[in-house]
Amino acid sequence: MSDKTLTIARLISGGLIINYHCTSACRHCLYRCSPRWPREYISPDVTWKNLLMIRDLGCSKIHIGGGEPLLNPDCVVSVLDLAHEAEVDIDYVETNSSWYRGHDEACVLLDRLSAKGLSTLLVSISPFHNEHIPFYKVKGVIAACHEVGIAVFPWIAAFVSDICTFDVMTPHSLEEYQRHFGEEYVEQLPRRYWISPGGRALETFGRFTEAKTLNAIIDASAGGCKELAQVSHFHVDLFGNYIPGLCAGLSIRTNDLGKPLDPEKYPIITGLYAGGIGTLTAYAAREYGFTPKKRGYSSKCELCYEIRRALVVEKGSNSEEIPPHGHYRYG
């Protein structure tokens, strides 16, 4: 089979996105989650289909993420039950701790999840989250986990000392961190914290990168976007979309995994994989009359997002390759 044909034949490790609605709109969020998203959660039917697909493609362990999953504990319980039935282990559930109201209430919720087999909670710890969530809530969730016997995966603990420089009872903006730690604080965050070059991170960090001309961006990508085939950390969402290569805003229907993608059904994704961002730029110009808005871009990902957003928001595209459309409308 040609190396220009994209086939997702095997999955290694990944997660299930059960909602995009979130209490926060973190400036690094790959999936552009925010309070603007509708309060939609994964259904049992979609959960079951996703779990069977994940298992059939060789992956036996996943995590549960969002949005903020614990805005709907009943949904998390349903996913845990179905995962047990499907013989897919849950490594951890992610949380930003915004739901914390008090120790006793948190213990009741976490004890319920523990009884369903949850062994680990990934607790988000970063200046991005602290913009929206006071750190006392994070500390409270960690204390409740210790109380009920759920392990804590602190992501990441290295930021605790930075955050505790400020009043833990209130949120603090990135600008406050810059004033205290120095103007380069935000620019240096990717050296301390793995941040995928997509979603809101494009705006947050793109300004720190010297812009390249459109032709330079296209030429550098001419070999194709091979990261679309990466399966070491995949995500599948509540709408039955597989996100290739963690490229948020691109989607493959789960029933199309395990076989070569049809270029007629997936012209955007197959074009990117085979020919890079230049192929998408030409496709968008030909099919939708798209023209780039800038002379230079920080990366091919910035240009790719600009194109896809224009197709959804400005051109009214209903392409099945670029949902959920809320990624472009609510993020």
**What are the mean pLDDT values of the chain's consecutive 10-residue runs (331 residues total)?**
83 98 98 98 98 98 98 98 98 98 98 98 98 98 98 98 98 98 98 94 96 97 97 97 97 97 98 98 98 95 98 95 96 83
Q: Which domains does the chain have, with CATH numbers?
A: 9-194 (3.20.20.70)
Is the omega angle on the peptide bond into residue 156 within 30 degrees of 0, that is, cis?
A: yes
Are 47 and 55 in contact by the 8 Å Cβ rule? The answer is: no
Share of the chain residues as helix, strand and coil, in percent rounded to the nearest 5: 45, 15, 45
pLDDT at residue number 1: 43
pLDDT at residue number 2: 53
Whole-number Cα distances in Å, 68 to 6, 23, 84, 95? 31, 7, 22, 6
Q: Which residue has the tokens 């871009």?
A: 297
The pTM for the full model equals 0.96
- Number of Cβ within 10 Å of residue 48's Cβ equals 17
pLDDT at residue number 4: 83
Which two tokens mark 60?
């036996």
